[in-house]
A and B are shown apart, each in its own frame.
Chain A
Amino acid sequence: MAVKVKIPVPLQRLTQGKEEVEGAAGTIISLVNDLDQQYPGLAERISENGKLRRFVNIYVNEEDVRFMKNEETEVKDGDEISIVPAIAGGM
């Protein structure tokens, strides 16, 4: 079992159109770097200098990682990760 990662449309070009991919357990940033090995270019889109980009939201089992430890949040096998661009609404 691995960590399941849902890929948003703007990044699916890098994952050969796959909506969901698998990566290794560890911190979010190590997961991102692991995915980059499989799908080159992905890490650069999501992170910059080891930090998540400002407009990238990452959820672990539907919880925003900013309520946990950001890119240092630990994820384990079986967790579901969503990568979601920030979206608008309200005023």
Chain B
Amino acid sequence: MGFVRGLKCRECGREYPVDPIYVCEFCFGPLEVVYDYDGIKKVLTKEKILSRPQNLWRYKELLPIDGEPTVGLHSGFTPLVRAKKLAEHLGMKELYIKDDTVTHPTLSFKDRVVAVALSKAKEFGFDTVACASTGNLAHSVSAHGAAAGLKRYIFIPATLEQSKIVASLAYGPNLIAVDGNYDDVNRLCSEVANKHNWAFVNINIRPFYAEGSKTQGYEIIEQLGWKTPDAVVVPCASGSLLTKIWKSFKEMKEIGIIDNVNTKVFSAQATGCSPIVAAIKEGTDVIRPVKPDTIAKSLAIGNPADGYYATQVIKETGGFGADVSDAEIIDAIKLLAETEGIFAETAGGVTLASAMKLIDSGHISKGDVTVLCITGNGLKTKEAIEGHTGEPHHIDPNLKSFEEVLKKITSA
């Protein structure tokens, strides 16, 4: 019943059947899911989408599964928050936060991609799932995999924030802490994946997994009243989310749900790991890998697999990129929390701080309808802002003590 025609190499165009494979055997290019858009156009209408439950599967025809979805039936459809106070602070006319800090069940946008990956893994008949992760993916595979009754092997860099490690262990997976950075973990996992017949969500399931990111884009369109924004700012690690958001906009046009797409796509990275933004600023599409050094660990991928395609999207749409320091990330996390009541993880700080630079430099105009993709919850990386917030006011349990403190607070 699905609308997937097959897999196709993004580099050389060779076609492959729907299998748990991820690279072109000929040129090693990544494989991309190809759909029958004419078929989808006939069945998927605004009315049909609106009639369905508010989760990411309301766009299921545009996702790479054959049967009914089995995982993540409550994931997605997060709020698109009109950020009036933040907009005022930045002098913007119309600013929105796509708030994936509240994605079910593990509070990051990874719940979207894992919902799709595990639904597909079950269709393929796998009983074991695995992933290499900077944290959020570990949470999501641990949680969705538990609910789906799958065995789980989760590989993480041993240096990950303690809160992320504990939050994964709660779901009882096999957690493998590797003495190395994310790129080391990834390289190891590609060797493990060669040996064991598991569904590695970001390796042999990657073409399907990555498609889940598109749902953030579909939702932005729907929640803006069936149109695309003028500008969208996306945090980049591998560059996959950015390319998929752009793909989702183009697909909505392809199937006739919207008439045009005039969006500039912007990349946000931490200065300590900015291979994509560096390439954009230099005007090249050659991605030079780096050794990450940033508090934004969920973005600390020095060797971004989709970096090349991210630069192409930015070029095609007339977007740009910005990179920000650790101090700027922390300030932006606090600004978002204090103006909009949204506590984002470090990647969210990267997105907002980068957007502020892009507004200052005029790459984003103050009149542009702008969406910031905030992809994970601040409770996951609270270590990052510890020591950078105010302190509690300690008092004795009596009114006099409170009144004394109150006087200090109000006179400050």
Chain A: residues with CB nearer than 8 A to chain B?
6, 8-11, 13, 19, 45-46, 53-57, 59, 62, 64, 66-67, 82, 84-91
Q: Which of B3-54 contact A (CB under 8 A)?
A: 11, 22-30
CA distance A82 to B299 in the complex (A): 25
Determine which residue in A13, A87, A89 has the highest number of CB atoms from chain B within 10 A of its CB, and name it: A89
A77→B236 CA distance, assembly (Å): 39
Name the contact of A10 in the complex, choosing from B25, B238, B300 (C-beta under 8 A): B25
Whether B206 contacts A91 by the Cβ 8 Å rule is: no
A66 and B190 within 8 A (CB): no
Contact, CB under 8 Å: B298 / A90: yes
Question: Which residue among A13, A46, A82, A88 has the maximum number of chain B CB atoms within 10 Å of its CB?
Answer: A88
A90 touches B28 (CB 8 A): no
Rounded to whole angstroms, the CA-CA distance of A10 and B26 in the bound complex is 8
Looking at A13, A19, A82, A85, the one whose CB has the most chain B CB atoms below 10 A away is A85
Interface residue stretch chosen among B71-79, B129-137, B334-342: B129-137
**What total of A-B pairs shows CB separation below 8 Å?**
110
User: Are B289 and A86 in contact, with the CB atoms below 8 A?
Assistant: no
Q: Are A45's CB and B305's CB within 8 A? A: no
**CB-CB < 8 A to A91: which residues of B?**
109, 234-238, 240-241, 298-299, 347, 375
What is the total number of residues of chain B having a CB less than 8 Å from a CB of chain A?
51
- CB-based contact B303/A90 at 8 Å: no
Residue B388 at the A interface, CB < 8 A? Answer: no
Which listed residue, A10, A13, A66, touches B28 by the CB 8 Å rule? Answer: A10
B301 and A9 form a contact (CB under 8 A): no
Instruction: Given A6-B191, A62-B187, check contact A88 B240 (CB 8 Å).
Output: yes
Q: Are A55 and B303 in contact (CB under 8 A)?
A: no
Interchain residue pairs A-B with the least CB separation, the first 4: A90-B237, A85-B23, A86-B305, A91-B241
Instruction: For the complex formed, measure the closest distance between the CB of B183 and the CB atoms of chain A, giving whole angstroms.
Output: 7
| A45 contact set on B, CB distance < 8 A | 25-28
User: How long is the Cα–Cα vector from A45 to B11 in the complex, in angstroms?
Assistant: 12
Chain B proximity of A66: nearest CB distance (Å): 5
Determine whether the beta carbon of A87 is less than 8 Å from that of B202.
Answer: yes
Tell me, in angstroms, the Cα distance from A82 to B238 when the chains sit together.
Answer: 21
